[in-house]
Structure 1
């Protein structure tokens, strides 16, 4: 089946006119009409009926449309997998308020010519992000696979940056007046981190953090979103949570929430970038260079054990930033 005929069919169906489809595809209206006529003969059905405003799909055309879209999208993914510079750089971040998104936004503001598409895959298992990179659905993902040996041979993972943690509390919390806190001072306080998903790298992170510092990290209950979490903190005298120093949170001024740095050691969440080993999108080079310019953390930093394991495919720039020792 001719994929160009399917592409013409999809655009004509979406735009409602052969001429508009031809203009977008860069061909003549006659070429679009011939492609669709050939497709109709091959399928032995009519796909369109003409109206005063253009064309409308027949029932057979409506049945074909979702399948045609899928085929056209698959062909486009196949082409861009070997020609990644021809379209926007697609990078997956955990959330649009996350440290990864903030860092990408800072980069884009200083390089506005970058054709960047920031997406959220909404998957918890980092292996799903790896599969999306391998398939060419995205160009890179800010996720971490805690066992790099399990990565497919055509995918690599490099260190991106380490995100220091802060304690976020409401004004009535016993620690609210502190300017800085040590991990020891967090013991016996309830640290609520709802929505820790099994098989996610952050589940393993919080397990190690709780074990190493004897912390009470509570993941009970569903996560109804950041707004509900902030509401709870503002009203509570006994609940706190952990957030990344670069994570962006917005709350009403009357909440009077406080973000308190954690030091001696600084608790840091390691962030990695998963990308293809061969023919990565050309715009990734600039972003990786930018990651290497981010401010260094203090010398005394705690990182989970899997963050100190050499990561397959680390660039020289990324390796240069992994000088902070893991502390217990």
Structure 2
């Protein structure tokens, strides 16, 4: 019999055996041995005994009706039948792994980075959950865009709310999400405390205290632009000891600060929040997410964000020039 005739005969026997039920564990063991060459090493990688992997191969050879390996001192060598079966075996294992990954992806929670659970981004997530309670959600907090890029690329988060200027990195998509109005936070003894609104011109020459403006963060850059546009000094002095310390310091002295309308800071009897107007500074939240390999529920979140988005109004609102063009498009693209 010629080599071609033998190969055709062998391939026929393998395909015919496929009509029977093949043990996927045995097929996986076969592939592992072809990669490691030794039964012992393949068994260790699969977490089973050498006796167990030998039984799996014997079972597979019985099901296919052919010998798949020749044993030698240099390791297990594929027979001609084994070489023919290898591409089919790899395809079976690959398809099974993809199917499991898809099902696990559907079962696991949608992981969303909101920077902090006291920011306005949590409102976006909560309103989404209110409409889709069937979607499991896991909230992740980090240090904003600086960590979100890597987390999204690695797949440790599925989406992130953050400020993004310019085009995102390859493989990531930016979506305009929400423009959060700014409030002035002052103590009750502050000269502006009795006003219902504070015009931005009234803050010219003033100092606002923002110890949480970490160097290199996207929100620190935003407030530098804000200070430059309206003649406000941004004071970042002092460690950031958390929200409780922050509100006590503002309430107990002459300090003023700027916070987002949606920021959930602790209540303090000596602090007052006042909307900023003429124009209203708005903080540009974007939704950043991967272009490919997305969680099955991510498209639902994207559509929810698109439906609730309201574009930038230059007659009433203020944004840094770097953000303005990204939030003016009414199509939110």
**What TM bracket, shorter-length normalisation?**
0.5 to 0.7
2:19 alignment partner in structure 1:
none
Q: 2:327 matched to 1:320? A: no
1:239 alignment partner in structure 2:
255
Q: 2:114 matched to 1:97? A: no
| Conserved 8 A contact 2:128-2:301 | yes
Label 1:36 to 1:322 Cα distance change in 2 as closer, same or farther (>3 A). closer
Q: 2:303 matched to 1:289? A: yes
Aligned partner of residue 262 in structure 1, secondary structure:
strand
Return 105-114 or 226-235, whichever deviates more.
105-114
The superposition leaves residues 239-268 of structure 1 with CA deviations (integer Å, 9 ceiling, x where unpaired) of 11111111112224xx24211111111100
1:123 alignment partner in structure 2:
143
Aligned partner of residue 250 in structure 1, secondary structure:
coil
Deviation for aligned residue 1:101 = 1.0
1:132 alignment partner in structure 2:
151
Scaled by the length of structure 1, the TM-score of the pair is: 0.66
Label 1:175 to 1:246 Cα distance change in 2 as closer, same or farther (>3 A). same
1:72 alignment partner in structure 2:
none
| Structure 1 unaligned blocks of 5 or more | 5-34, 43-75, 312-317, 324-328
Q: Tell me which of 271, 287, 290 is aligned to 1:276.
A: 290
The superposition leaves residues 7-62 of structure 1 with CA deviations (integer Å, 9 ceiling, x where unpaired) of xxxxxxxxxxxxxxxxxxxxxxxxxxxx75639x99xxxxxxxxxxxxxxxxxxxx
Aligned partner of residue 162 in structure 2, secondary structure:
coil
1:186 alignment partner in structure 2:
203
| Structure 2 unaligned blocks of 5 or more | 1-24, 26-45, 54-96
Return 83-92 or 214-223, whichever deviates more.
83-92
1:160 alignment partner in structure 2:
177
Deviation for aligned residue 1:173 = 0.8
Deviation for aligned residue 1:201 = 0.8
| Conserved 8 A contact 1:155-1:276 | yes
Q: Tell me which of 320, 324, 331 is aligned to 1:304.
A: 320
Q: Give distance in 2, aligned partners of 1:258 and 1:96.
A: 22
Q: Tell me which of 146, 152, 161 is aligned to 2:165.
A: 146
1:264 alignment partner in structure 2:
278
Label 1:80 to 1:217 Cα distance change in 2 as closer, same or farther (>3 A). farther
| Conserved 8 A contact 1:188-1:215 | yes
User: How many residues are matched?
Assistant: 243
Q: 2:58 matched to 1:38? A: no
Q: Which has the larger radius of gyration?
A: 2
Q: Tell me which of 210, 215, 218 is aligned to 1:201.
A: 218
Deviation for aligned residue 1:99 = 0.4
| Conserved 8 A contact 1:127-1:145 | no
The superposition leaves residues 188-240 of structure 1 with CA deviations (integer Å, 9 ceiling, x where unpaired) of 3321010212221112101110111111211111110000001111111x211
Q: Give distance in 2, aligned partners of 1:292 and 1:156.
A: 13
Q: CA RMSD in A?
A: 3.1
Deviation for aligned residue 1:82 = 10
| Conserved 8 A contact 1:195-1:219 | yes
